[in-house]
Amino acid sequence: MSRVARQTTRSIFAWPLALGAATLAGLVLGLTGDGLRDVAAWTLLGLAPLVILGALLRRTPAPSPSPR
């Protein structure tokens, strides 16, 4: 039996909260300015899809069930 290290609530929700804050900041920047603010908005809004894609590419496939 493998032992799994316990995680704190802070460590579990740190990345989702950071991505949510970046997305919110990107939306506000995109709505309130032009030029450099638009570039910052696109950058911040693009972080979440990049992180999701990276997690999907890094994921290992689940072991297939053995036939009985």
Which residues constitute the domain of residue 35? 12-55
Q: What is the number of structural domains in the chain?
A: 1
State residue 61's pLDDT score. 80
Residue that the structure tokens 């297939």 belong to? 64
pLDDT at position 1 is 58
Residues 6+ apart with CB under 8 A from 14: none
pTM strictly above 0.75: no
- Give a yes or no: residue 48 inside a domain: yes
* Structural domain includes residue 5: no
Residue 66, pLDDT score:
74
Q: What is the pLDDT along the chain (68 residues), one digit of tens a residue?
A: 567 788 899 998 999 999 999 999 999 999 998 999 999 999 999 999 999 999 999 988 877 777 76
Does residue 42 sit within a domain? yes
Q: Is residue 49 part of a domain?
A: yes
- pLDDT value of position 35: 94
**How far is Cα 47 from Cα 32, in angstroms, rounded to an integer?**
20
